[in-house]
């Protein structure tokens, strides 16, 4: 058939799919691949936030001899006026290790790598690891918080003023140069700050727990209890049938 002027006009009037619609369709296809996987992705995102928070100050203290802060890995940052440099027995330095934080960082790395690998392959083993690793990381973060809180007296004692002759001389010199106050009983009131956890430590605990909960929720969603019961019933039924067929075969 020969095209008529009217048919040519209709063909020209048909809308041509734009590049934006094609990109939108491709984005929807990629987004559809993430269906049923948002729990693990949320766990990975929360784990990354927790890893960043591990490098923030978790424990702070201030005393007569300055201020100090420590992150989850045990790295200490302190400012001091060296009041006790002439003291015969200066306060001992706080011994804070980052063993729990290092293990938590390793668990977080396993979580992120497993979630990325499982996003591509979707295997049962990777799903289990992506569920267990955030739970282990959350437990290690909680242990880190408890450990750091137990070390707060040591960090506070490290900044205390000694009472021997060397410590008293340092106090007088500091007061003479305007860097401190002279402690005389009954003259003035002095406030002391104690060591304590920072909001970063509490926020890291919250994000790690949220990651563990979302991973567990995703696992429960993918493996509901009804399916587990059904599989157990099928296994029992098969074992019973095999026992009934065994005498017949003999």
pLDDT of residue 249: 47
Distance CA 200, CA 71 (A): 9
Q: Name which of 186, 165, 180, 164 is nearest 64 in CA terms.
A: 180
Q: State the Cα torsion 164-166-172-176 to the nearest 10°.
A: -170
| Cβ(204)–Cβ(53) below 8 Å | yes
End-to-end CA distance of the chain: 78
Report whether pLDDT(22) > 80: no
Higher-confidence position of 16 and 166: 166
pLDDT of residue 150: 92
Report whether pLDDT(136) > 90: yes
CA–CA distances in Å: residue 160 to residues 47, 75, 88, 153, 170:
37, 20, 14, 11, 12
Q: How many residues does the chain have?
A: 250
Q: State the Cα torsion 181-186-187-193 to the nearest 10°.
A: 40
Q: Name which of 36, 46, 2 is nearest 212 in CA terms.
A: 46
| Cβ(65)–Cβ(181) below 8 Å | no
- Token pair for residue 218? 């995703």
Distance CA 124, CA 18 (A): 40
Report whether pLDDT(166) > 90: no
Q: What is the pLDDT of residues 95-129, one digit of tens each?
A: 999 999 999 999 999 999 999 998 888 888 998 99
Q: Name which of 236, 220, 218 is nearest 34 in CA terms.
A: 218
Give the pLDDT band of residue 27 (cuts 50, 70, 90): very low
Distance CA 105, CA 209 (A): 14
């Amino acid at each position: 058939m020969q095209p008529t002027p009217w048919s040519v006009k209709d063909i020209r009037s048909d809308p041509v799919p734009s590049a934006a619609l094609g990109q939108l369709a491709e984005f929807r296809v990629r987004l559809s691949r993430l269906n049923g996987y948002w729990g693990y992705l949320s766990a990975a995102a929360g784990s990354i936030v927790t890893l960043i928070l591990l490098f923030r100050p978790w424990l702070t203290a201030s005393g007569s001899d300055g201020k100090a802060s420590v992150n989850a890995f045990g790295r200490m940052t302190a400012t001091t006026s060296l009041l006790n440099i002439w003291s015969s027995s200066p306060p001992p330095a706080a011994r804070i290790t980052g063993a729990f934080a290092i293990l938590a960082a390793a668990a977080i790395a396993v979580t992120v790598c497993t979630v990325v690998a499982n996003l591509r392959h979707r295997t049962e083993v990777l799903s289990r690891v992506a569920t267990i690793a955030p739970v282990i990381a959350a437990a290690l973060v909680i242990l880190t918080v408890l450990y750091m809180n137990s070390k707060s007296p040591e960090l506070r004692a490290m900044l205390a003023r000694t009472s021997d002759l060397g410590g008293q001389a340092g106090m007088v010199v500091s007061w003479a140069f305007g860097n401190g106050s002279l402690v005389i009983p009954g003259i003035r009131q002095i406030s002391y700050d104690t060591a304590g956890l920072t909001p970063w430590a509490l926020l890291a605990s919250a994000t790690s727990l949220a990651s563990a909960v979302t991973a567990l929720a995703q696992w429960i969603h993918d493996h509901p209890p009804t399916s587990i019961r059904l599989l157990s019933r099928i296994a029992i039924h098969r074992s019973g049938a095999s026992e009934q067929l065994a005498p017949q075969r003999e």
